Amino acid sequence: MPATRTWLKTPLAIFTANDHDARGGLVIEGGRISELVPLGQRPAQPCEQVFDAREHVVLPGLINTHHHFYQTLTRAWAPVVNQPLFPWLKTLYPVWARLTPKSLALASEVALAELLLSGCTTAADHHYLFPQGLEEAIDVQIEAVRKLGMRAMLTRGSMSLGEAEGGLPPQQTVQQGEVILEDSRRLIRSYHQRGAGATIQIALAPCSPFSVTPEIMRASAEMADELDVRLHTHLAETLDEEAFCLQRFGLRTVDYLDSVGWLGPRTWLAHGIHFEADEIARLGAAGTGICHCPSSNMRLASGICPTVALEEAGAPIGLGVDGSASNDASNLILETRQALYLQRLRYGAEAITPQRVLGWATRGSARLLGRDDIGSLAVGKQADLALFRLDELRFSGSHDPLSALLLCGADRADRVMVGGHWRVIEGQVQGLDLQGLIADHRQAAQRLVG
Domains of the chain, each with CATH number or no CATH? 5-60+379-429 (2.30.40.10), 62-368 (3.20.20.140)
Tell me, rounded to whole angstroms, the distance of Cα 122 from its chain centroid.
7
450 confidence band (pLDDT: 50, 70, 90)? confident
Q: What is the DSSP letter of 13?
A: E
Q: What is the DSSP letter of 133?
A: T
Q: Cα angle vertex 62, ends 394, 28, to 5°?
A: 105
pLDDT in tens, 326-378: 999 999 999 999 999 999 999 999 999 999 999 999 999 999 999 999 999 99
Report the interhelical angle of 177-191 vs 137-148 (nearest 10°).
30
3: pLDDT confidence band, cut at 50, 70 and 90?
confident
What is the pLDDT, as a whole number, of residue 424?
Answer: 98
In the chain, the N- to C-terminal Cα span, in Å, equals 56
Omega within 30 of 0 (cis) for the link into 411 = no
Q: For residues 122 and 417, is the Cβ–Cβ distance under 8 A?
A: no
DSSP structure class, residue 280: H
- The DSSP call for residue 382 is B
Q: How far apart are CA 411 and CA 119, in angstroms?
A: 9
Residue 49, φ and ψ in degrees, nearest 5: -130, 145
Q: Is the pLDDT of residue 164 over 70?
A: yes
Amino acid, single-letter form, for residue 82: N
260, 222 contact by CB (below 8 A) = no
DSSP secondary structure letter of residue 352: S
Predicted confidence at residue 154, as pLDDT, reads: 98
* pLDDT mean over 222-237: 98
Mean pLDDT over 186-199 rounds to 98
Mention every residue, 6+ apart, whose C-beta is less than 8 A from residue 116: 148, 150, 416, 423, 424, 429
Question: What is the secondary structure of 185-214 as a DSSP string?
Answer: HHHHHHH---STT--EEEEEEE--TTTS-H
Contacts for 211 with CB less than 8 Å, ≥ 6 apart:
128, 159, 160, 161, 167, 168, 169, 174
Examine the pLDDT at 4 and tell me if it is beyond 80.
Answer: yes
The answer to whether the pTM exceeds 0.95 is yes
Q: Which of 175, 136, 134, 140 is nearest to 158 (CA)?
A: 175
Instruction: Count other C-beta atoms under 10 Å from residue 425's C-beta.
Output: 13
Q: Distance (Å, rounded) from C-alpha 333 to C-alpha 106? A: 22
Q: What is the pLDDT of residues 382-425, one digit of tens each?
A: 999 999 999 999 999 999 999 999 999 999 999 999 999 999 99
C-alpha separations of 243 from 36, 266, 320 in Å: 51, 26, 25
Across 364-394, b (16+ Cβ under 10 Å) vs e yields bbbbbbbbebbbbbbeebbbbbbbbbbeeee
Question: 3-state DSSP call for residue 206?
Answer: strand
State the average pLDDT over residues 290-311: 98
**pLDDT reported for residue 1:** 60
What are 238-283's pLDDT values in tens digits? 999 999 999 999 999 999 999 999 999 999 999 999 999 999 999 9
Q: Give tens-digit pLDDT for 46-96.
A: 999 999 999 999 999 999 999 999 999 999 999 999 999 999 999 999 999
Tell me the average pLDDT across 102-111. Answer: 98
DSSP 68-99: -GGGGGGTT-GGGTT--HHHHHHHHHHHHTT-
Query: Are 4 and 45 spatial neighbours (Cβ–Cβ below 8 Å)?
Result: no
**pLDDT bucket at 108, cuts 50 / 70 / 90:** very high
Query: Residue 236: which of 163, 348, 315, 128 has the closest Cα?
Result: 315
